[in-house]
């Protein structure tokens, strides 16, 4: 178990945090002592999330996490307000479903811009600041089980998630000399506001998940916080799959 304030004096940026997994990660970070810059593309979601957390150690920065200039401004803002930056969690991402034979270039470009380009340059901007501080740091990228196992209609999305895991492995070489760790969390089926729109989601994934239920946002956030905590100081270049055992057996939800 975490000590009550394991993230005291730590400053984090979490993107895509207006709801779902990202918001839960911010909640837990703030509860355990961190100061957080909460980002989401949607201004209203950002404002409502900050209002919900209701703590002086959490500020909102709505904006596009795929925009390189914006992510650099966000890093500068974190340092300006809180004095330093210790944790980057690149949670912002989009999912696009599509038959490979019909998939369109504009859909792929949107995926690449946010899932890869945004995560890459947020990591770069954060790591530059951490290197300047000379006190180490933590970077966490958000992958997916679709980066490990094939999933119908998700070839493009799965490709971006596998790429993020390779990015984490590759950056071990460049970040380790500065005591910066970089890892990924790969969630499986997870109950969020978005997946709850499907009335069959819980039942469908519960039947094919060995532990009998999809993950909660709390399940994913616990894994994320572990990897950016002092408890994971000797873990880097790894991916932690949180899927209730699904990738061990990988039955398709489309089997019927």
Domain boundaries along the sequence of the chain: 11-242
To the query of whether residue 254 is one of the catalytic residues in this protein, the response is no
What class does CATH assign to 11-242?
alpha beta
Instruction: Count the residues in the chain.
Output: 256
pLDDT 10s per residue in the chain (256 long)?
456 799 999 999 999 999 999 999 999 999 999 999 999 999 999 999 999 999 999 999 999 999 999 999 999 999 999 999 999 999 999 999 999 999 999 999 999 999 999 999 999 999 999 999 999 999 999 999 999 999 899 999 999 999 999 999 999 999 999 999 999 999 998 988 888 888 888 999 889 899 999 999 999 999 999 999 999 999 999 999 999 999 998 788 875 5
Query: Which residues are paired to 14 by β-bridges?
Result: 38, 89
**Do 113 and 66 form a contact (C-beta atoms < 8 A)?**
yes
β 137-142/11-14 pair status = unpaired
Catalytic residue among 103, 153, 157, 201: 157
The torsion region of residue 148 among left (phi > 0), alpha (psi -120 to 50) and beta comes to: alpha
Helices and strands in the chain, H and E counts: 9, 7
Distance of alpha carbon 137 from alpha carbon 179, whole angstroms: 7
Q: What is the pLDDT of residue 195?
A: 85
């Amino acid at each position: 178990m975490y000590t009550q304030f394991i993230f005291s004096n730590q400053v984090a940026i979490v993107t895509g945090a207006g709801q779902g997994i990202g918001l839960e990660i911010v909640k837990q970070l703030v509860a355990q002592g961190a100061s957080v810059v909460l980002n989401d593309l949607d201004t209203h979601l950002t404002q409502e999330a900050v209002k919900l957390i209701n703590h002086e150690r959490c500020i909102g920065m709505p904006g596009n996490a795929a925009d390189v200039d914006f992510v650099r401004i966000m890093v500068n803002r974190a340092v300006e307000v809180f004095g330093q930056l210790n944790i980057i969690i690149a949670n912002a991402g989009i999912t696009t479903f599509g038959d490979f034979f019909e998939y369109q270039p504009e859909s792929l470009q949107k995926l690449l811009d946010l899932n890869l380009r945004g995560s890459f340059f947020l990591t770069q901007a954060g790591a530059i600041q951490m290197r300047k501080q000379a006190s180490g740091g933590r970077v966490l990228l958000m992958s997916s089980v679709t980066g490990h196992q094939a999933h119908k209609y998700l070839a493009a999305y799965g490709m971006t998630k596998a790429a993020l895991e390779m990015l984490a492995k590759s950056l071990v070489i460049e970040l380790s000399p500065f005591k910066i760790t970089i890892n990924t969390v790969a969630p499986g089926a997870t109950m969020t506001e978005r997946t709850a729109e499907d009335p069959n989601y819980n039942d469908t994934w519960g039947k094919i998940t060995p532990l009998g239920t999809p993950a909660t946002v709390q399940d994913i956030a616990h894994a994320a916080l572990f990897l950016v905590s002092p408890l994971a100081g000797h873990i880097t270049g790894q991916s932690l799959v949180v899927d209730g055992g699904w990738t061990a057996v990988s039955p398709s939800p489309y089997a019927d």
